[in-house]
Structure formats: structure tokens, C-alpha cells
Structure 1
Amino acid sequence: MAFAITQNCCNDASCLSVCPVNCIHPTPDEPDFGKTESLYIDPRNCIDCGACADACPVDAITRVSRLGPDQAVFADINADYFADKPVESEWDVPRFPLPTINELSEVEVAIVGTGPAACYAAQALLRFPRARITFYDRLPTAGGLARFGVAPDHMGTRRIGEHFRTVFTNPRVTMKLGVEVGSDVEHRELSERFDAVVYAVGAERDRRLDIPGIDLPGSTSARKLVGWYTGHPDVPADAFDFEGVERVVLVGNGNVALDAARILTADPADLEGTDIAPHALAVLRRSSVKEVVLVARRGPAHAAFTRSECQALVDRTNIPVVVSGPVDVSARIADLPDSSAASALSGLDAVEVGDLPSGRRIVFSFGRAPAAVGGVDRVESIDIGSGDEKRRIRTELVLLAIGYQGSPTLGLPFDQATSSIRNAAGRVTDTEGIPLEGAYVVGWAKRGATGGIGHNKMDAEETVDALIQDMAGRTRQPATRRRTPFNRVGAWLPLQAPSRGLS
């Protein structure tokens, strides 16, 4: 009986290298890699050895015979991916380090950020025995989006933090938490002190929605909500209070929106024992939210969420999920192939958003773009759709979940079109495309705010390959080579006394 990859898949491809029969796809060398919501195990090739399950950093791989009723669908999802593909057992061409790699002198690298992209870059660098790394993070706690961006009840996905623990505690790694690059220490100082600086600064801005009333009190970012319930230091404990809030409208239908909808409608007792911030759990216990409406401007065929995340919502028997939209929305969902994300909504009741339900529920509203937010001193309603399809929804809270954007960082060249630091294969470049010596970038800051945790692994490998090639080709050493003391910390533990600056 084969294994199957389930909802928690982080796409970092750790499982691929241990599979003895090459039955996990897409591989990083295949066109689909980075475009599918997860990796998949071919049941025609799987020999049931379990090596992939042992290697998976987020416990996403399970023997098919052990899938529970709410996960049985993943056996079909894995098999469906290979339905129109030949049996594939040939291996990709192996990759080897540069022949000159052992001739390198010691390489000291600063990594700005401690999220997944930063950690994957560090893992790749630490394969080289003469590499030493210093992390810089403005927050007093390491982890980035792996800690503050993953829903607290997604305990499997949050285990990626344990996967990175060995990076933070490696004897060749120094941690400088509570240090803001650009304020406490300048890029120029880092470039003088280190052989290379890798920027893993993510995308810290929300995409703007330009409609009337969007800036009214009661209209805010879903990112802020996520930071609130995960305990992000930048979000005050009293940022949200749901007493008197009966309907929440989420603009957008990506996985962030689904996470928010799930947390807002969950039984607080089910959140006990998760990583939810204590202040958030206390507020949710007295919440009066009855309905969460997810508004999407496009139809179900273009849903931005993943099928597995949607399936998890539908499988919660205590919280009804319904659909809304044009008159044919149910038929359009029913016609979707099983591989489509919104196919998990097939067979659900169709409603018009109006009177509040007696209990809690989630509404997927398709094909109606937000047009205006109404209210005098704060949010009272939102208009969605246009013409005959225009609807006004009464609501006390509007949350925007329409994506993130990068912002110009530390004076580095910035591409406004992609909202990312200008780069070529991870090398930071000027406006003429010429690489800036010793400056590199990974993650969302490199490619724009696309892809999940695991997509950063291959991205980081590419950048580190470029960095090592450049180091091997250098003929001089940086002028400044001051040593820094080692501070060894756990995965999520701040330094007892946050370090400031370079020394």
C-alpha cells in the first residue's frame, strides 16, 4: 500500500532525496515544481518503504491505509496527479559542488532575516565547512513567517520550526536578534564586515485596494489579524475585539483568508493546546462572530486557495460552509475537475448573504468584486458586485487578504513591477543589470510575494550557488574582518540580552 502526501505539505522537497524509486513529483527540475499546491507520490511506483515520511519536516506524509475519513481524499489527489503522466523512474542529472570549493578560505556571511528563506539559505551555506553565518533580525524572536505567518492550529506545518532549530544552534552560527539593519547597523557596515550579505526580508506591505471607504476604522489587513493571533510583537494584544461583531467580511480567498475564517469560527476549546497567542484565545472566547464571508472577484475556477485548505474547512462538521454568487455558481463548481481547488465545495448549499444564521458559518462568495465600504465613523457595510449582481452586505469588520508586496529596502535597487529587490539568480543588481559585489537576496524579496514555505528552498539553493561561485572567483579578501562572539539560541527563543550592532 502506497504513501500519500496530505494537507501539511510544505513543498520543500526534502522527501525527494530519500526516495529510492523516484516516485515523488514534481521534482525541482520539472516544469510543475513550484506551481502545484503540494508534491505527490505516484502509487504505481511507491514501494511502501516510508523513507519519505521520516524525512518530511512537517509530518505531511502518511501511509494510505492510515488515512482517516477526513484525509482519505488525499489518496485520490495523489493518484490523480499522475493520471495522465507516464510512469517515471529516471533520475535527474546529479549536481556536484564546484571543484574549487575546498580551496575557499573562510567565508563569513550575514543573513538579514530569520524566516524560512533565511534558514534554507543558511542550511545550504553550512554544507561548506568554512562558512560562518551571522543572522540579523529586528524582532527579539527568530522564525519570521514560519512562526508568525502559519496559523496556530496548523501544528504540522509549524513543525518546520523544529526543522530549522539545528540551524540556529549550529556552532558556526551567531544570532543577533533585536537588531534592525538600516537603523542599528547600516548595509555599508555589513558589506565591510562580511564577505557577503544575504537579504531575506520578505514582503512587508499589504496590496492596496482603492475603493471608497477602505480607510474607515473597522477596515484593516488580514495580515494584522494573523499577527495578532500568532503573537507577533508588532501587533498589540488589544488590536481586535469581537464583542458586538457578528459578521466579518474577508476580501480575498487565498489561504491566508481561509486561515482567518477558520480561526474566527473555531470553537475556542479546539484552539486550546495550539500555538495561539493567549490574548487572542481570551478574546475569541467572548466573540460574537456568527458569519465570515470570503469575497472573491473571480469565479470558483480561479480560486486562490489550495484544495487541501478548503477541504479542511468543509470537513469541519460543526461549522457549515456554503457558497454564494451568480445564479449558476453551484453548477460551475459541480463542473470543476477534482484537481481544481474549489471542487471541495461541490454539493454545498448556495445562499444569498442577508440575515445572519443562528449559529456560525462560512460563506464563499464568488464573482463579486468589492466596490465600496460604507459607514460614517466606522465600517457598517460593504458593496460587492455591480449592476444586477450588486449586493450590500452589513458588516462590522472588513479584512483585506489580497496579497503582499515588497518595499524598497536599505537603498538596494528595487523593481517596482515585481515588488522585489532587483536581482539575477539571487545576485543583487543595479538598474543596468550589473551585480553589486557581495549582495544577495532570497525568498519573497527576491521573486515577489509568491509561493509558500517550501518554495524558498530551491530559491535559496540558487542564490547560495551564485554566492559560492562568486567567492571562489574572488582574488582579494574584504578589508575588515572583525570576529563576533557566538550566541547560541533555541528555535524560537530570544537572546537574554538582545545584541545591538556589529560587535
Structure 2
Amino acid sequence: MSRQLRVAVVGAGPAGIYAADILTKSELPEGVESVTVDLIERDPTPFGLIRYGVAPDHPRIKEIVKALKRVLSNPDIRFFGNVSYGDDLKLDHLRQFYDAVVFATGARRDRELDIPGIDLKGSFGAADFVSWYDGHPDVDREWPFEPDAETVAVLGVGNVGLDVARILAKTAEELLVTEIPDNVADGLRRNATKDVHVFARRGPAQVKFTPMELRELSHSPSIDVIVHPEGFELDEGSMDAIRAAKSQKLVVDVLQNYLAKEPSGAPHRIHIHFCQSPVEILGEDGRVVALRTEVTELDGTGNVRGTGEHVDWPVQAVYRAVGYYSDNLAGLPFDLAGGVVPNDGGRVIDIDGSPLPGAYVTGWIKRGPVGLIGHTKSDAAQTVELLLSDVALRQAQGTWEELEQPAREAVDAYFAERGLEVTTWEGWEKLDEHEIALGAAHEHSRERVKVVDRNDMVRIARS
């Protein structure tokens, strides 16, 4: 006797949507006639960090949304937004409604940086700033720009660090053609930043920028990109990295072009410094007044060692972009050091080392916040393969047919009973249409204007 496989995916960002897509397209084990997937998301909208983690002036990356929309139009995949795992429902509830649960909750918080002064006024996490300028409904509507903060430090040399530096250095008027909410445009008009200093602990061959992100820094007429020669070193480990990856060679080539270029006199500048390790944020009267770094030197392997020499950089704000960190999920083990759910290829591993039945992970909650969006597809494929192999094993053991078939409508009844204001895919299409109409009516004829308030988003989606 065969029956349907019911799977919940918690998290409707790219990782979760790819997992749902692969599940509905996979060859199913004997005894499984079909598979349906419910995507459960705490935001009222799908797409996760595509909507709330990609800088608004990166429309090419947002093109991925078109492919994800096609996935979510599949009738075998349902979207339930505005539902918070851990608050509105827990693992025990999900096990009542589904045969298996895949967690794809990603990473949205800033990884901590344990240096003196990190809690001073004017010290910020990049993830918080990104959530603000992307209009996430759960953050404050105003960013605390200081009127005298003309010089700012950004710690970290990944794409998020560059996004933060670029948004700080651009004018609000340049960003009015994007989807930024009106409150973000108003906030950026109060931004006094003239110079953004980006600090790398190692050398140019070890940065995590992508070539495209790095080139785009110079696309704004209001920004000069200045690469400082101090610390611009290539040791044998650096040469190995360049030879091993074409993208890393392209990054170094772009940096060398910036290094040789004379500033044009643009009103804003992004400075890139190498071999400078942040060791302390200095303050007066509880506010940031400087960043102290230790000069480092490459050790021949691509790593660095400290020299004992320190430099104080007068800045009025510091943004740390040293990585994202995942939330601890109720009912699941958690690796505090790695910021991930312990797993074996995607199977959740309990504290005793045994697999947690029916629980899987994919994306950043599985492997940490590394890699580009496209990497989550192969990651999801690995997890789905394990999930289906576990179903096949239960079938071979004769236990599959004995399991009670979860009704697809049972979770709908649970949401209704709890009085949850759930948003659906049809609701997202209403909100999407509404935001596009706001953009068309805007004086700058924008592609869309995001609705920011959660209650407004839910109201429009459920209208």
C-alpha cells in the first residue's frame, strides 16, 4: 500500500524553497505515491535574505526571485507566512502533521566580536543595519545616525561588509530608484558619512569579496575607492589561493587597479586597508571616537601574525561585518561555537550522537553562513537525498505503512484554532502587486516600494 509523503520546511528563503522544489521533483521510494511540502516562515513574505539581506542596489541578484516564484506556484507546495517556529508551533506539533521536517532557517543575527568597546554607542552589527535598510518588519524604523559621524569603520571583508560600506557612502538620491522604503530614504538623508574605512585582518588574496561586488563600488559617481598600499602583500600562501581560484585572481586584479588609480575628488570615499586586525573600539562619554588595530603580517601560509604595532583610527561609528549567526531552534540540539544544528550531511544529530528521527537541516543552519545563494541548491539536494533514503529504509523495514497518514488540512485547522493570522502564497501575490503599484505611483517611478509594517503586510496579504 502506498501513500503520500508530507514534509514541512521551516524557512522560506532560497535554501527552503530549493529543498521544496527538489523534493517535489525527486524520484520517490517505493510506497510513496507523491509528496507535498508546506513552507513555514516567520516573516509574512517568502524569499528570506533575498528580500531582507540583499542590498537594494543589487537588482541582478534579486532576479533569483523569478525562479523561486515559479517553484512556489507549484500546487504541491504551500506557503504559510507569519508563523513563528518555537512560538506558534513546536517540533512536537510538526511531527503530528508531517512525516519529516527540514529546517532551513538560515542565519540573520550578527556573529559577536569580543573586543573592548564593542558595546559603545555608535558600534553596530552589519546584520542589524542590513535589516534596517532592507525594511525588515521587526526592526526599528529609524537608524541612529550621529550628525557628526563623518568617518566610519567597517570590520570585515566579505560581500556584506562591502554592501554596508557602499550604502553608507552613497547618497539617498542615488538609491531612490531602488525598492528602499521611504523611512530608509529619509534616514539616509541624515547620514553624514564622508569616509568609510574597510579593514581586513589579512591580505588582498584572502578577502571574501566577489569580483562583481568589488567592481560595483566604483559605479557610483559620488564614491572614490581608495586601496591603501600598506599591508598590500602577497605571500606564497596568497599565490596558492590566486592560482587555485580564478575568482580570487580577479579580486586581486580589481584591487590592484584601484591601488593604481588616482582619486577623482568625489565627495565620498571608501578606503580599503589590509593587514589591520581590530583589537579595541575607543570611546569617550560612552560614544565611539576611534578604532584601534594591530598591524599584522602574512606568515607565508596566507595567515597572519601580529606585529605588536598598533594604529588608532579616528572614527565616529563602527560596523562589524564578521559573519552571520543562526538562532537556536527549540527542540533541536545546537552547536554554539559553529552556530549550526549538529548534523550528518543534513540529518540532525542529537546530543548522544544518534540521528533525531524525521528532522533534517539545509542551508546556513546546516553548514554555517558561507557560500553564495547558488550553493544552497546542492546543499538542499544532499539533504533531500538523505530524507528520501530514510523513507525508503522505513519502507524496507515494513514500518512505513504502519505510520498514520497526516491529513494535509490538519495544520490549517491548527492555525485556525490558534487564531494565527497566516499569510499564503495568494496573499504574497496581493502584497507583491500592492508594492509594485506603490512604486509605479512614486515620483521616481520605482520598480516597487516595500511595505514595512508587519500589520500592514498581513492586512494586505489577507484582504
TM-score normalised by L of structure 1: 0.71
Q: Does 1:115 align with 2:13?
A: yes
Q: Structure 2 vs 1, CA of residues 347 and 113 (structure 1 numbering), >3 Å: closer, same or farther?
A: closer
Q: Any conservation in 1 of the 2:108–2:127 contact (CA below 8 Å)?
A: no
CA drift of 1:239 comes to 2.6
Q: Structure 2 vs 1, CA of residues 497 and 432 (structure 1 numbering), >3 Å: closer, same or farther?
A: farther
Counterparts of 1:113-152 in structure 2, within 5 Å, are 113-127=11-25, 130-152=34-56
Q: 2:254 aligns with which of 330, 344, 349?
A: 344
Instruction: Name the structure 2 match of 1:385.
Output: 294
Q: Does 1:187 align with 2:101?
A: no
Q: Does 1:482 align with 2:407?
A: yes
Classify the secondary structure of the residue corresponding to 2:116. coil
Q: Distance in 2 between matches of 1:170 and 1:348?
A: 46
Q: Does 1:250 align with 2:154?
A: yes
Q: Distance in 1 between matches of 2:404 and 2:2?
A: 17
Q: 2:333 aligns with which of 382, 401, 413?
A: 413
CA drift of 1:350 comes to 8.3
Instruction: Name the structure 2 match of 1:366.
Output: 274
Q: 2:387 aligns with which of 464, 467, 476?
A: 467
Counterparts of 1:25-424 in structure 2, within 5 Å, are 105-127=3-25, 130-241=34-145, 243-324=147-228, 326=230, 329=232, 339-349=249-259, 359-375=267-283, 376-386=285-295, 389-424=309-344
Q: Distance in 2 between matches of 1:303 and 1:415?
A: 26
Structure 1 stretch 375-384 or stretch 151-160: which is displaced more?
Answer: 375-384
Q: Any conservation in 2 of the 1:293–1:362 contact (CA below 8 Å)?
A: yes
CA drift of 1:433 comes to 3.4
1:224-283 deviation per Cα after TM superposition (whole angstroms, max 9, x unaligned): 111111101122111333533211110111100111111111233321221223211122
CA drift of 1:457 comes to 0.1
Classify the secondary structure of the residue corresponding to 2:193. coil
Classify the secondary structure of the residue corresponding to 2:3. coil
Q: CA RMSD in A?
A: 2.8
Classify the secondary structure of the residue corresponding to 1:261. helix
Q: Structure 2 vs 1, CA of residues 164 and 395 (structure 1 numbering), >3 Å: closer, same or farther?
A: same
Q: Distance in 2 between matches of 1:286 and 1:421?
A: 40
CA drift of 1:401 comes to 0.2
| Count of equivalent residues | 390
CA drift of 1:411 comes to 2.6
Q: Structure 2 vs 1, CA of residues 359 and 441 (structure 1 numbering), >3 Å: closer, same or farther?
A: same
Instruction: Name the structure 1 match of 2:300.
Output: none
Q: Structure 2 vs 1, CA of residues 389 and 324 (structure 1 numbering), >3 Å: closer, same or farther?
A: farther
CA drift of 1:495 comes to 5.3
Q: Distance in 2 between matches of 1:232 and 1:287?
A: 19
Q: Distance in 1 between matches of 2:288 and 2:403?
A: 56
Q: Distance in 2 between matches of 1:488 and 1:277?
A: 22
Q: Any conservation in 2 of the 1:168–1:175 contact (CA below 8 Å)?
A: yes
CA drift of 1:178 comes to 1.3
CA drift of 1:347 comes to 4.2
CA drift of 1:330 comes to 7.7
Q: Structure 2 vs 1, CA of residues 331 and 452 (structure 1 numbering), >3 Å: closer, same or farther?
A: closer
Q: Which runs of no fewer than 5 residues in structure 1 stay unpaired? A: 1-102, 352-356
Classify the secondary structure of the residue corresponding to 2:209. coil
CA drift of 1:170 comes to 2.4
Q: Does 1:446 align with 2:366?
A: yes
Q: Structure 2 vs 1, CA of residues 388 and 185 (structure 1 numbering), >3 Å: closer, same or farther?
A: closer
Structure 1 stretch 377-386 or stretch 392-401: which is displaced more?
Answer: 377-386
CA drift of 1:180 comes to 1.0
Q: Distance in 1 between matches of 2:141 and 2:37?
A: 34
Instruction: Name the structure 2 match of 1:57.
Output: none
Q: Distance in 2 between matches of 1:307 and 1:498?
A: 38
1:75-110 deviation per Cα after TM superposition (whole angstroms, max 9, x unaligned): xxxxxxxxxxxxxxxxxxxxxxxxxxxx85211111
CA drift of 1:141 comes to 1.9
Q: Distance in 2 between matches of 1:458 and 1:104?
A: 29
CA drift of 1:288 comes to 1.7
CA drift of 1:482 comes to 3.3
Q: Distance in 1 between matches of 2:5 and 2:344?
A: 21
1:316-362 deviation per Cα after TM superposition (whole angstroms, max 9, x unaligned): 45411112363x63898x997882523212143589xxxxx882100
Q: Distance in 2 between matches of 1:238 and 1:113?
A: 27
Classify the secondary structure of the residue corresponding to 2:38. strand
Q: Any conservation in 2 of the 1:330–1:347 contact (CA below 8 Å)?
A: no
Q: Any conservation in 1 of the 2:90–2:331 contact (CA below 8 Å)?
A: no
Greater helix content:
2
1:116-154 deviation per Cα after TM superposition (whole angstroms, max 9, x unaligned): 100100110121572111111112222211111111110
Classify the secondary structure of the residue corresponding to 2:392. helix
Q: Any conservation in 1 of the 2:81–2:424 contact (CA below 8 Å)?
A: no
Q: Distance in 1 between matches of 2:339 and 2:15?
A: 17
CA drift of 1:182 comes to 1.0
Q: Distance in 2 between matches of 1:347 and 1:482?
A: 61
